[in-house]
Chain A
Amino acid sequence: SAVISQKPSRDICQRGTSLTIQCQVDSQVTMMFWYRQQPGQSLTLIATANQGSEATYESGFVIDKFPISRPNLTFSTLTVSNMSPEDSSIYLCSVEVTGWFSGQYFGPGTRLTVT
Chain B
Amino acid sequence: DAKTTQPTSMDCAEGRAANLPCNHSTISGNEYVYWYRQIHSQGPQYIIHGLKNNETNEMASLIITEDRKSSTLILPHATLRDTAVYYCIVRATLNFNKFYFGSGTKLNVKP
Q: A33-B98, A103-B34 are in contact. Are A42 and B43 (CB under 8 A)?
A: no
A103, B46: Cα distance in complex, Å: 8
CB of B99 within 8 A of CB of A45, answer: yes
Please name the residue on chain A nearest to B45 by beta carbon: A106
Given contacts A42-B103, A42-B104, A102-B93, contact A108 B43 (CB under 8 A): yes
Report if B30 contacts A (CB, 8 A).
no
- List residues 100-115 of chain A with CB under 8 A from any CB of chain B: 101-109, 111
Contact indicator B87/A109 (Cβ below 8 Å)? no
Check if A111 sits within 8 Å of B41, measured CB to CB: yes
Given contacts A42-B103, A103-B34, A103-B49, contact A48 B43 (CB under 8 A): no
With both chains docked as a complex, state the minimum distance between the C-beta of A94 and any C-beta of chain B, in angstroms. Answer: 8
Residues of A20-51 at the interface with B, using a CB-CB cut-off of 8 Å, are: 31, 33, 35, 37, 42-45, 48
- Asked if A96 is an interface residue, CB under 8 A from chain B, the answer is yes
Instruction: Please report which residues of chain B, range 53-111, place their CB below 8 angstroms from some CB of chain A when the two chains form the complex.
Output: 87, 93, 96-104
* In contact, B43 and A96 (Cβ under 8 angstroms): no
Q: Are B41 and A44 in contact (CB under 8 A)?
A: no
**Which residues of the partner chain B approach A4 to less than 8 Å between Cβ atoms?**
43
Q: How far is the CB of A40 from chain B (nearest CB, A)?
A: 10
Separation in Å of the A67 CB from the closest CB of chain B?
Answer: 20
Bound form: Cα–Cα A31–B91 in Å: 15
B46 — which chain A residues lie within 8 A by C-beta? Answer: 101, 103-105
Question: Closest chain A residue to B85 by CB distance?
Answer: A42
When C-beta atoms are compared, the residue in chain A nearest to B99 turns out to be A104
Q: A105-B46, A106-B44 are in contact. List 10 more A-B contacts (CB 8 A).
A: A31-B96, A31-B97, A33-B98, A37-B41, A96-B97, A102-B97, A104-B97, A104-B99, A109-B43, A111-B41
Q: List 18 A-B contacts (CB under 8 A).
A: A31-B96, A31-B97, A33-B99, A35-B101, A37-B41, A42-B103, A43-B101, A44-B101, A45-B98, A45-B100, A92-B43, A92-B44, A94-B99, A96-B97, A101-B46, A103-B34, A104-B97, A104-B99
